[in-house]
Amino acid sequence: MTDLHTPTNPEPLSEDLLEVDEASELDQAHYNEELWFEVQPEQTGRRLDAFLAGCLRDHSRSRIQQWIAAGQVSLLNHAVTKGSQAVATGQSYRVRVPKPQAVEAGQPEAMNLAIVFEDDELIVVNKPANLVVHPAAGHWSGTLLNGLLHQWPELQQLPRAGIVHRLDRDTSGLMVVAKTLTSQTSLVRQLQSKSVFRHYLTVCWHRQAAGTGGQTGLMKGKVEAPMGRHPSDRQRMAIVNGERGKPATTHYQVLASGLLETQPVRLLACRLETGRTHQIRVHLQSIGYPIVGDPVYHLGAPRQAKPPIGRQALHAQGLGLIKPATGEPLQFEQAPPADFLA
């Protein structure tokens, strides 16, 4: 395996937090985002509104107080309506955050999109790295949605402009977008039934994680570990057990091995059964395969190695689905961009 290109600017951590690839969750995304926050020992005794303001830095304390008064915050499935009440270690608060409507968040913007396929039902886009999919806090413009609305104004009539799944900002590769409500409904159902084929390529550092029992030595395998937001760090996802963890399954296979800056790396193919936020990145890190260039999930990456790529080395290479109107199977492949492998 040869070297990777030197980094440009590292990715800021922002929009990927709202990236949700699971179709059932996308159906609900017009209404509320559900977040969980667990009180850590050093936070015990704080006012509830102050505690949540520290967790939700994109929102003002006064706005959070309004959500509390409106019953949008709960503890043990019971609404908490007093922001002045003190929080205690181990308590887990659920917050339902109202989201902006797509028509408000998305305005048409001229953009040079790489279109792989288009007909009267579907658009398949080769998304470049450093492109946010949907407007969110810190990225209200310059997103894929803005570009789609400029090229296809009729998408304004569809939920999320026809978007049915997402890629992280700095993950490149194939995405499908619906052009009609009928095709969007079909694609959502295909995602829910796990019949959409999604194949990824990634370059990972090869370090065995503690407690993996040697599983990182396997040439192929499956990671089944429930996921949710990190209990204390909203900037991250994590493997989470209990009611906050949602089922997540990633299949992987080692394609090649080599050295990168004298450190062992492997080229992996991954296939998703589910599509949780940051799923591949979290799952691979958990078995000792942190993705090269990942600025967040890099536990086990060699400390002395400089990031050889300005983003995580993750690319959505393959996409398979059923054409809604005819039932015809469609398969698409897209080679990684130049910055992925030299």
Domain ranges of the chain: 15-29+101-194, 32-98, 200-314
- Cβ-contact 310, 102 below 8 angstroms: no
CA distance 312 to 295: 7
What amino acid positions are annotated as catalytic residues?
168
Q: What is residue 317's predicted lDDT score, i.e. its pLDDT?
A: 97
Higher per-residue confidence, 194 vs 215? 194
The CATH number assigned to the domain with range 32-98 reads 3.10.290.10
- Mean pLDDT, the chain, whole residue set: 83
Q: What is residue 243's predicted lDDT score, i.e. its pLDDT?
A: 77
User: b vs e for 180-192, b when ≥16 Cβ sit within 10 Å of the residue's Cβ?
Assistant: beebbebbbebbe
CA distance 246 to 137: 24
Hey, what CATH topology would domain 200-314 get? Pseudouridine synthase (3.30.2350)
Written as six digits, the tokens of 198 are 């999604």
Written as six digits, the tokens of 123 are 């658009």
Q: What is residue 62's predicted lDDT score, i.e. its pLDDT?
A: 83
Spell out the residues 6+ positions from residue 175 whose beta carbon is closer than 8 angstroms to its own.
124, 125, 127, 133, 144, 163, 165, 166, 167, 316, 319
CA distances (Å), origin 303, targets 224, 292, 294:
28, 12, 13
Chain segment 98-141, per-residue pLDDT in tens? 655 444 457 899 999 999 999 999 999 999 999 999 887 778 88
Alpha helices (H) in the chain, listed in sequence order: 23-28, 48-55, 61-69, 102-105, 144-151, 181-192, 279-286
Chain segment 6-51, per-residue pLDDT in tens? 233 333 333 333 233 444 444 444 435 788 999 999 999 999 999 9
Q: Does this chain's domain 15-29+101-194 share its CATH topology with 200-314?
A: yes
pLDDT-based confidence at residue 218 (cuts at 50, 70, 90) = low
- Statement: residue 66 has pLDDT above 60: yes
Higher per-residue confidence, 254 vs 3? 254
pTM for this predicted structure: 0.70
pLDDT-based confidence at residue 260 (cuts at 50, 70, 90) = confident
- pLDDT above 90 as % of the chain: 55
Out of 52-61, 246-255, 293-302, give the one with best mean pLDDT: 246-255
Q: What is residue 208's predicted lDDT score, i.e. its pLDDT?
A: 53
15-29+101-194: CATH, from 3.30.2350.10, 3.40.50.2300, 3.30.9.10, 1.10.357.10: 3.30.2350.10
Q: Choose among 60, 145, 131: nearest CA to 97.
A: 60
Chain segment 130-164, per-residue pLDDT in tens? 999 988 777 888 999 999 999 999 998 888 899 99
